Structure 1
Amino acid sequence: MVKLSKVKMGILEFLWRINRPASLREISDGVGVKIRCVNMHIINLRRNNYVTKTGEGLYALTDLGKEALGFPRVNKESAERILSRVPYALAFHFYSELDKPLMIFSDSLHDFCEKIRSLDLKSIEFHMFRGDFEAWIKSLGDVELARRLAIIRESNLSGEELRDEIYRAVKSRCDELQNIISSL
C-alpha cells in the first residue's frame, strides 16, 4: 500500500467520518484545504482506488480507502461473525451505574441496536462515557464501529441526541454488514 500524505489521509478520514458521498466543496470545507488542492488529491486517490465517484461531483470512500485508514477488510465470514449471537457470558450487560445491573443484556449487534432505542438514558450515558460500548463491539471484531462510537463519545453528547447518534451508527453498520453477507 502506498504511503499517503497528511492531506490525502485527512480527506479519507473526513469521508469516513461523514459516512456518505460528499462534494469537492464539502470535502474542502471539512479538511480545511482549497478546492483546487482537494481536486488534485481526489484525482490521485481515485487513481489508486481509495475513493470512487458516486454521482455528479460526489466522492465516497472505498474499502481500500478504509484499509488505508487502518480498518481491516470485512468479508462475508467476518461480517457474519460480527453480527452473530454470542454466549450469555460474552453478551453486553446493561447497568444504570456501578453495581446496579438492569437485568437487560444484548447478545448480538442487532439486539444491541434494538435495545438502545428504548434503554434508560442513564444507562446509555453511564456505559458510553466509560467506553464500555466500544470495548464490547471491539470484542465482537468490529474495529470500525468501535472507532465510530469513540468519536461519538468524544463529542460529549448526552440525552436523546446521544441515543440517536449511537443508534444511527450501529444501525448503519448492521445494514452495511448485512449487505456484505447478502451480496457475496
Structure 2
Amino acid sequence: MQMSLSPNKLEILEALLLHDKPVKPMQVSKEMGKEFPSVMMHILGLTKMGYATPAEKGYYIITKEGKKFLGIPEVSRDVARTLLVGKLHEQAFHFYLDIGKPLDIKAYNLQTFNSQLKRVQLESVDFHMKRGDFEAWFRGIGDIELAKKTAVLKRLTLDGENLRKKLQIITVNRCIALAKIAGYTVVTK
C-alpha cells in the first residue's frame, strides 16, 4: 500500500529528485524558499518512509522507492540506449523561437538535445519551458524521470541563462545515469 504525502513533503521529495547527487537540506531550503527547520523535518520524515536516505554526513538523496512513489519507472538497458543515441526522427524535438517561428534546430535523442540546448537562443529555451514542451517531449520519447524533473524545474520559474544552465545540468546528469544503465563507459571531466 502506497502512503500519501502532505503537499510540503511531496514538494521536498520532488526537489530531491532534481539533484542527482546527495544534497544538503539547507540547499533544498534555499532553492525552495522555505524555512530550514521545516525542510529538515520533512526530509527526516521522508527518510523514515524510505523515500530519501542519508548519503553522507549532512547530505540526503532520493531513493528508488521515492522515485517509484513519484511515478518514475526503472529504465531498461535497451530503453536507456534508445534515449541516449537512438535515431528518434519521427519524434524529434523541433526548437522554435515562438509560435510560427521555427529555428531549423532539431534533437533526435537526449545527447543531441543537450548539444542543441547549448546553442539555441535563450528565448527558445524560455518559450518551450513555459509551454511545457520539453516535459512533453521527454515523456513522449519514454523518459518519465527527465519529464518529471523538467516539470519540477518549470515550477522554479527560472528563465534565460539560469534556466538553460539548470536544464543542462539535469540533462547531462540524466545522460550519465542512462549511460551507466546502458552499459556504456562514462567519462566525466
Q: Taking structure 2 as the reference length, what is the TM-score of the superposition?
A: 0.77
Count of equivalent residues:
179
1:86-116: CA deviation from partner (whole Å, max 9, x where unpaired): 3433211112222222111111110000111
**Percent of matched pairs sharing the same residue:** 33
Alignment of 1:11-160 (within 5 A): 12-23=13-24, 33=38, 39=44, 41=45, 44-45=48-49, 48=50, 50-160=51-161
1:108-134: CA deviation from partner (whole Å, max 9, x where unpaired): 110000111111112222222111111
Tell whether the 8 Å contact from 2:94 to 2:107 is kept in structure 1 after alignment: yes
1:5-56: CA deviation from partner (whole Å, max 9, x where unpaired): 53765653342244432356667867753857754x36633xx5x4333222
Q: 1:36 to 1:125 in 2, by over 3 A?
A: closer
Q: Taking structure 1 as the reference length, what is the TM-score of the superposition?
A: 0.79
Q: Per the alignment, in what secondary structure is the counterpart of residue 94 of structure 1? A: strand
Partners of 1:57 and 1:145 in 2: CA distance:
26
Tell whether the 8 Å contact from 2:86 to 2:109 is kept in structure 1 after alignment: yes
Tell whether the 8 Å contact from 2:43 to 2:52 is kept in structure 1 after alignment: no
Tell whether the 8 Å contact from 1:12 to 1:65 is kept in structure 2 after alignment: yes
Partners of 1:23 and 1:154 in 2: CA distance:
20
Amino acid aligned to 2:64: D
CA RMSD of aligned residues (A): 2.9
Mark the runs of 5 or more structure 2 residues left unpaired by the alignment. 185-189
Amino acid aligned to 2:103: L
Amino acid aligned to 1:181: A
Amino acid aligned to 2:38: V
- 1:138: how far off? 0.8
Alignment of 1:157-176 (within 5 A): 157-176=158-177
Amino acid aligned to 2:48: N
* Farther-moved stretch of structure 1 (150-159 vs 105-114): 150-159
Larger radius of gyration: 1
